[in-house]
Structure 1
């Protein structure tokens, strides 16, 4: 980034946030604190009303607002691709807003930039990962988004992929919704579950009969969705052998539980880390005889039993 671009970007950052230290700006723009000092001085000398308070940081004088800025081709393409993503993956409300935002961005671009942006966009197509978000999930997404903003609890039926200790897959949950995360192409709700009395994750695709309740909740002061990391409770290792015929396809599969791969003389050895081996059962069976479980023995026996049941069907 050249100096002119950095000076403009500094003003935009100060306009976006109340106060920033020189160290903060240096980290954002990957430069030295001394360079930031020189930039602030240059901005002040050019008439930008920057207020500096020792030990606190820099801020713009109240009432100062930078006029709308123009976008270059790369910036405009980035924004328009972003609207494509929102339109595909978010709920109906945000999808509609993405469309109107796209039209506004295109309308304010100079003719020369708009023509070049259009040309570049014909060479790029956004195909988001994961399955398409269906109408029901989009409805749930909007309901949950509003419930989170209004701090209202929700109730829904939930279908687990693996049965609980009592053998049941279905349950009714009352949850204080803390946030929504798009994870591996699927929307996931993070919230405090009253049934389990702990923070849990819920895929929207496994929900049914979602209801927003009148009951309110308080978000814990120490919870920050941007900093939140799920507790890793995957302690079981599964090792499989993929024959050479499917090795490339396995590499490209992007399995969530995959830990490591190693090419050997007999094929591709793949290591997974799971909560319970059965989480990989259907995935392994889908590869047929080209995939062999090496360990644990319990999973080998389970697959053997499944194959025997399949043989009885034929």
Structure 2
């Protein structure tokens, strides 16, 4: 990084972080503390209002703001792809904001960068899955996002899949929404459930009759969605013997429940870790005769029962 780029980066870092010590800046930009002293002095002489506090570090005078001067083609493509994702996966309010953001970014790009950005974007494409109830899901996402921001409770009916013969079960829930997580192509609400009196996860696609309530709540000050990790309660190990020729295909599939893969003389041993058998039953059946359940015995029986039902259809 040359001196000019580093000085600009220092201003943007102070603008982003508030206060930084010379040692911190030296570590970030991989240079010496003495070089940082010289850069800060040069910035001050150029009119950038940087103030230093002994023992605290450097900061910008309140009210000073330096907008990004330019984007490289790679940086612009990164931002525009992020906007594409927001347009596809968020609710209508964010979609409108995303389109406005795209217009602003494209308007400040120099012609040469804009041409290169168009060329690079032509080689990349995001495809969003569509469902018959996508409009309702979009509306629900907007309502839940509002509930999270305004710290208001929501009420809904929740459909949970449970083992046969009971089948699906619907329950009525009132929850305190803490945040929304997008994982594996599905939105999940992290919320404190008033019924269960604990933190629970609710898939958006399993909710119905969603209502935003007037009752408010206070999110715990120690809850941080970015660092939150749900407890892992997958306590059942499933062992499956597969055709070893499928090793590359199984790796490519990158199945969520996979615990281990081992190439044995008998074939490819796949170990899965699950909460209940129904989570992996469709996956096991999808491999047909190339997969054999070694255990638990109860899952072997469950597979046999499902195959017997399939045979009756043919």
Report Cα offsets for 1:157-216 as digits up to 9, x if no partner: 11123359x876211111100001111121111010111111111111111111000110
Secondary structure (helix, strand or coil) at the match of 1:200 reads strand
> Alpha carbon RMSD of aligned pairs, Å?
2.5
| SS at structure 2 position matched to 1:179 | strand
Distance change >3 Å, CA 120–CA 251, structure 1 → 2: same
Whether contact under 8 Å (1:242, 1:250) holds in the other structure is no
* Residue range with higher mean Cα deviation, 148-157 or 59-68: 59-68
Q: How does 1:49-198 map to 2 (within 5 A)?
A: 49-127=49-127, 131-132=129-130, 134-162=134-162, 169-198=169-198
1:299 has 2:299 as partner: yes
Q: CA deviation at 1:24?
A: 4.8
| 8 Å contact kept, 1:188–1:201 | yes
Partners of 1:193 and 1:286 in 2: how far apart? Answer: 35
Which runs of 5 or more residues in structure 2 are unaligned? none
Between the aligned partners of 2:281 and 2:222, the Cα distance in structure 1 is 38
2:13 matches 1:13:
yes
Contact 1:247–1:267, Cα closer than 8 Å, also in 2: no
Q: Aligned equivalents of 1:21 and 1:285: distance in 2?
A: 59
Q: Deviations over 1:254-298 (max 9, x none)?
A: 211112212233332111111223321122122222111112222
Partner of 2:205: 205
> Residues of 2 paired with 1:162 and 1:32: CA distance?
61
Under a length normalisation based on structure 2, what TM-score does the superposition of the two structures give? 0.89
Q: Deviations over 1:139-158 (max 9, x none)?
A: 11111111111110001111
Local SS of the residue matching 1:174: strand
How far the C-alpha of 1:67 sits from its partner, in A, is 4.5
* Alpha-carbon distance in 1 for matches of 2:30, 2:186: 33
Q: What is the rounded CA distance, in whole Å, between the counterparts of 1:187 and 1:49 in structure 2?
A: 44
1:208 to 1:31, Cα distance in 2 relative to 1, 3 A: farther
Counterpart of 1:220 in structure 2 is: 220
Higher deviation after alignment, 270-279 or 224-233: 270-279
TM-score (ref. length: structure 1): 0.89
In structure 1, the residue corresponding to 2:162 is in which secondary structure? Answer: coil
2-structure distance, mates of 1:242, 1:31: 54
In the TM superposition, what whole-angstrom CA distance separates every residue of 1:50-108 from its partner, at most 9, and x where no partner exists?
22223333210123221451212121111111111111111111112111211221122
Gaps of 5+ in 1: none
SS in 1 for 2:180: strand
3-state DSSP class of the match of 2:63?
coil
Q: Distance in 2 between matches of 1:22 and 1:189?
A: 41
